């Protein structure tokens, strides 16, 4: 996605979250249903577990964002690391609900809201801090999803950004107007 100049923190953040989600979506699309639920070892998380956790976190943090604590009483964080949804469809429905909570809230915020106070586990954060905290958390887990998907896809893997050893070719195409910057 090409960079669009903006002076709006919220607009820029929304774009970054959409890019992160897009990376995870495109990575998950490259693995089989069985690979979504496969863990590398007994103490590692599968893609499905990471998705379940991130979806739960997004739902909790971004539902009633400005008026309730970001750690909702009905959230079972520990349960997010066990027994993921039984199918890709169910898993991705939960994933989409979590992201919808985030994007719905970001769409409703204004730049003035950035200095407001919200709480996460009782701790005060500015809205700006809460957004930054959430983005760091999402980026961390999206990286895990991409790494696992790339591992499982193996030789079938299609690069999500500029493919390895293709930077010079890509930059030439951008300069010639034949490709858009990502």
Do the domain assignments include residue 3? no
148 three-state secondary structure: helix
pLDDT value, residue 3: 61
- Residue identified by tokens 């750690």 is 71
Question: CA distances (Å), 53 to each of 26, 49, 115, 135, 157, in order?
Answer: 19, 6, 28, 15, 25
Helix boundaries (H) for 7-87: 9-28, 33-36, 47-62
Rounded to the nearest integer, the mean pLDDT of the chain is 92
Do the domain assignments include residue 180? no
pLDDT value, residue 159: 93
- Domain limits at 75? 9-175
Q: What are 62-89's pLDDT values in tens digits?
A: 999 999 999 999 999 999 999 999 999 9
Number of domains composing the chain: 1
Do the domain assignments include residue 131? yes
Do the domain assignments include residue 1? no
- Is the pLDDT at 100 greater than 50? The verdict is yes
pLDDT value, residue 145: 98
Assign 4 a pLDDT band (cuts: 50, 70, 90). Answer: low
HSE-CB at 102 with a 13 A cutoff on CA atoms is: 28
CATH number at residue 127: 1.20.120.450
DSSP 45: P
Do the domain assignments include residue 181? no
pLDDT value, residue 101: 98
- Mean pLDDT value across residues 25-47: 97
- Mean pLDDT value across residues 105-125: 97
Do the domain assignments include residue 40? yes
Do the domain assignments include residue 59? yes
HSE-CB at 147 with a 13 A cutoff on CA atoms is: 12
CB atoms within 10 A of CB 112: 8
Assign 136 a pLDDT band (cuts: 50, 70, 90). Answer: very high
pLDDT value, residue 1: 47
Do the domain assignments include residue 4? no
Assign 137 a pLDDT band (cuts: 50, 70, 90). Answer: very high
pLDDT value, residue 88: 97
* DSSP, residue by residue, 75-126: --TGGGGS---SSHHHHHHHHHHHHHHHHHHHHH--GGGGGSEEEETTEEEE
- Mean pLDDT value across residues 113-126: 97
- Is the pLDDT at 93 greater than 80? The verdict is yes
- Is the pLDDT at 2 greater than 70? The verdict is no
């Amino acid at each position: 996605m090409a960079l669009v100049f903006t002076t709006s923190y919220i607009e820029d953040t929304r774009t970054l979250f959409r890019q992160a989600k897009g990376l995870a979506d495109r990575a998950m699309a490259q693995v089989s249903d069985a690979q979504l639920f496969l863990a590398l070892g007994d103490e590692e998380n599968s893609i499905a577990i990471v998705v379940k956790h991130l979806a739960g976190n997004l739902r909790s943090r971004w539902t009633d964002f400005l008026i309730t604590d970001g750690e909702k009483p009905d959230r079972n964080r520990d349960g997010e690391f066990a027994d993921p949804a039984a199918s890709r469809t169910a898993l991705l429905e939960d994933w989409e609900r979590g992201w919808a909570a985030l994007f719905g809230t970001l769409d409703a915020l204004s730049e003035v809201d950035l200095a407001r106070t919200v709480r996460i586990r009782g701790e005060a954060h500015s809205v700006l801090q809460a957004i930054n905290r959430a983005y760091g958390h999402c980026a961390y887990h999206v990286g895990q999803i991409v790494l696992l998907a790339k591992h499982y896809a193996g030789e079938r893997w299609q690069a999500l950004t500029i493919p390895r050893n293709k930077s010079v070719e890509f930059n030439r195409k951008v300069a010639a107007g034949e490709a858009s910057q990502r």
